[in-house]
Amino acid sequence: MTALLATTTPLTAADRCDRCGAQAYIRVVLTKGTDLLFCAHHGRQYELKLREIASEFHDETTRLAGTPATATADEH
């Protein structure tokens, strides 16, 4: 994947964390053009090191703020 594609293509539920397999919310594009995907937890855990080696750091973790932890009574 190229850096241009990484910045224009939003992450979806099909994108999985390379560390644990959870849904990815962070895409890191390395200088050679390869990319790594991380869940919010692992993205935050490795963020400082990743930013040192990344040409692009695409973070969509703000999408988590609008997601309820549980369904409301009318969503059953």
pLDDT attached to residue 9: 86
Lowest mean pLDDT, pick from 16-25, 27-36, 41-50, 65-74: 65-74
Band the pLDDT of 64: cuts 50, 70, 90: confident
Residues with Cβ within 8 Å of residue 51, at least 6 apart in sequence: 57
Under 8 Å between Cβ of 15 and 22: no
Report the predicted TM-score, pTM, of the whole model to 2 decimal places.
0.75
User: Residue 43 and residue 53: Cα distance in Å, rounded?
Assistant: 14
pLDDT of 32 over the 80 cut? yes
